[in-house]
Amino acid sequence: MSEATHHRVVIIGSGPAGWTAAIYAARAQLEPVCYVGVPKQDPSIILPGGQLMLTTEVENFPGFPEGIAGPMLMQMVQKQAERFGTKIVGEDIVRCDFSKRPFTLHTSADKTVLADAVIIATGATANWLGLENEMRLATSGGGVSACAVCDGALPVFRDQPLALVGGGDSAMEEATYLTKFASTVYIIHRRDELRASKVMQKRFLDQPNAKVVWNSIVIDVLGDTTVTGVRLRDTVTGEESTLEVRGLFVTIGHTPATGFLRDTGLEFDEKGYIVAQGDSGRTSIEGVFAAGDVADSQYRQAITAAGMGCRAALDAERWLAAQE
């Protein structure tokens, strides 16, 4: 193993939260090093660039009146972070020791890194059904998405029948949003009862173009380049059928990327998200900060993640100054 390198600020993650933290930390002359992760093919695990790498068109990030492709937005923010001197390392952080300072981080390339302050911005991945054609059409922009608020308003989905899998509050919220654009929105739910709160259910079910397909799971996504339908199996009778739709939204929960932090003593909530201290980017461990979806199960937007990245970097800067 090579000798450990020592940095003032190490940022783990390279989505909007990580890059924004890097911009602020670099401009504060903290010479941040950003661990962006090893490139991966599987969208169900964290990618360098985060969830926006799976988003074709981002229409709700301020400053881009015509919209911008998710990967392009991330490239631009990365450039901005690099312009102020952020160093980028294409390795995963696989283990952290926060028991003493400087903190010790271990990388996927078997290297050891020491850090005075750490900003965790590893995000959360949307859960997927795990079907081959689902992944193919999600990564190619073929009409499968895990974020209706991000993609639902795109012209390809206008006045088209759309399907959404899920039965929780997020599913209701996202499906209700889709009813504004789609001809019909089918919620496909594996049971005969929704998990969502009554008020959220009602908000969806009150829409004239809302329908629920009960006791059903999606077993395949149909279409060569774009979604033409979904193959369903009835969970009670086992019967199979085809539902013609032009888009499939998967809203079955998220998993925060906190597995590598399990034994660090950090405080997590019951779903595994990092708990922030009050209205700040501070965590339960002094000198360790968190930003973006890894600490936010509620909003999960690029712009909220970017704001949290700014906040964590400012908190880190102030904390480091107080240590001197």
Active-site choice (151, 293, 296, 315)? 151
Nearest-angstrom CA–CA distance, 13 and 29? 20
Q: Does 253 bind ligand NAP (CB under 6 A)?
A: yes
Which residue in the set 195, 203, 211, 233 belongs to the binding site for ligand NAP (CB under 6 A)?
195
Q: Does 22 bind ligand NAP (CB under 6 A)?
A: no
Q: How many residues bind ligand NAP (CB under 6 A)?
A: 16
Handedness of CA 160, 130, 188, 233 (dihedral sign): positive
What's the full length of the chain, in residues?
A: 324
Tokens found for residue 173: 């919220």
Q: Does 82 bind ligand NAP (CB under 6 A)?
A: no
Least Cβ distance, residue 307 to ligand NAP (angstroms): 19
Which residue in the set 131, 171, 232, 316 belongs to the binding site for ligand NAP (CB under 6 A)?
171
For residue 150, indicate whether it is catalytic.
Answer: yes
Closest CA to 150 of 57, 81, 215: 57
Nearest-angstrom CA–CA distance, 127 and 52? 15
For residue 34, indicate whether it is catalytic.
Answer: no
For residue 310, indicate whether it is catalytic.
Answer: no
Nearest-angstrom CA–CA distance, 45 and 160? 30
Least Cβ distance, residue 23 to ligand NAP (angstroms): 29
Spatial contact of 168 and 196, defined as CB atoms under 8 Å apart = yes
Q: Interaction with ligand NAP in 213-232: which residues (CB under 6 A)?
A: 217
Give the contact letters, 293-322, x = binds to ligand NAP (CB under 6 A), - = no: ----x-------------------------
Residue position matching structure tokens 């950003």: 34
Task: State which residue, 81 or 165, has the beta carbon closest to ligand NAP.
Answer: 165
Which runs of consecutive H residues, i.e. helices, occur in the chain?
Answer: 16-27, 70-83, 132-139, 148-151, 169-178, 198-205, 302-323
Q: Does 156 bind ligand NAP (CB under 6 A)?
A: no
Nearest-angstrom CA–CA distance, 178 and 30? 43
Which residue in the set 4, 114, 149, 252 belongs to the binding site for ligand NAP (CB under 6 A)?
252
Q: Does 167 bind ligand NAP (CB under 6 A)?
A: yes
Indicate which residues carry an active-site annotation: 147, 150-151
The binding site for ligand NAP (CB under 6 A) comprises 129, 165-171, 173, 190-191, 195, 217, 252-253, 297
